[in-house]
Amino acid sequence: MARYLVTGGAGFIGSHLVDALLQRGDAVRVFDNFSTGYEHNLAHCINDIELVRGDLRDAEAVSQAVAGCEVIFHEGALPSVPRSVSDPLTTDAVNTGGSLHVLQAARQHGARRVVFAASSSVYGDTPILPKVETMAMSPKSPYAVSKMAAESYLKVFHHVYGLETVGLRYFNVFGPRQDPTSQYSGVLARFMTLALQGEPYTMNGTGNQSRDFTYVANVVQANLLAASVPAAAGNVFNIACGVRVSLNDIVALLNKLVGKELPVIYSPARTGDVEHSLADISAARAVLGFDPSVDIETGIAHTLDWYRTQGA
């Protein structure tokens, strides 16, 4: 039986990926230091996984976690643009240095493939839409730089050492288990809990900024495909829905779903934030067979239901 390692497996996306692997009957090892992940995300399957507590900055701990695994899903990272702006050194150490530790360990232990959680933030704020993988990267924050650097290491390890690597550039992922209480959480997580509580939305910027919001199940599907499709090796793919929605439209949709007309409190835009984001996913469709099955309205409805069960 193939063994899979999920770094950051206690996190929002990582824990959903763990669930999908277990549902297939795979052997799963999780590596996490629980700095942004939570034990309760794994409580329902803790007896079905091998849990290794460790930090991506610890090369020896990473090496031990990678040993014996065929595929590494490298989800572990310090997320958030604002966090990286306030503390660029730690963001680089975890996201860039940690990714290098994962790649080196995968090479040394003979892993078949590393699938990396890349980020749409590497495109920066260039006005050209949609974003295509062949575009020049133009990061606007330390977080984006760290993801770009890790992506570059992936390509080098593929071309120099022959390690199979795949980068998946996520676009604004949302869904159950995303922590709405963190100051670094995604905008949809915050908006949904405010909507359920009947509180005004707090908006950075005008609300006309738009995103290609991507439900977490679509991201999990992309990861499973990226681990198995031979032609994916050495490449990077946009993972999104290919649809752009403004934050003001999100507010209107949430008001409709909760049956309330809640006001919006606008404040200045945050440093490093991108104004518009839209993915061209034709490469992922053609090479991976990726087909985002959950649209944004369905995903938001599912996620709202989950937050209700959590007492949001």
The pLDDT tens digits for 53-109 are 999 999 999 999 999 999 999 999 999 888 999 999 999 999 999 999 999 999 999
- Give the ranges where 242-292 is alpha helix by DSSP (H): 247-258, 282-283
Give CA torsion, residues 151, 152, 157, 158, to 10 deg: 80
Beta-bridge partners for 113: 71, 164
CA distances from 14 to 23, 28, 30 (A): 14, 12, 9
Q: What is the model's pLDDT at position 272?
A: 66
Average per-residue pLDDT for the chain: 95
Q: What is the model's pLDDT at position 95?
A: 98
Catalytic residues: 143
pLDDT digits (tens, 9 = 90+) for 3-18: 999 999 999 999 999 9
Which regions of the chain are under pLDDT 50?
Answer: none
Which of these, 242, 202, 240, 213, lies nearest to 300 by C-alpha position?
A: 213
Amino acid at 42: L
> Which residues make Cβ contacts (< 8 Å) with residue 129, sequence separation at least 6?
244, 276, 278
Superfamily in which the 3-174+213-240+279-293 domain is placed by CATH = NAD(P)-binding Rossmann-like Domain (3.40.50.720)
Q: What is the model's pLDDT at position 112?
A: 98
pTM recorded for the entire structure:
0.95
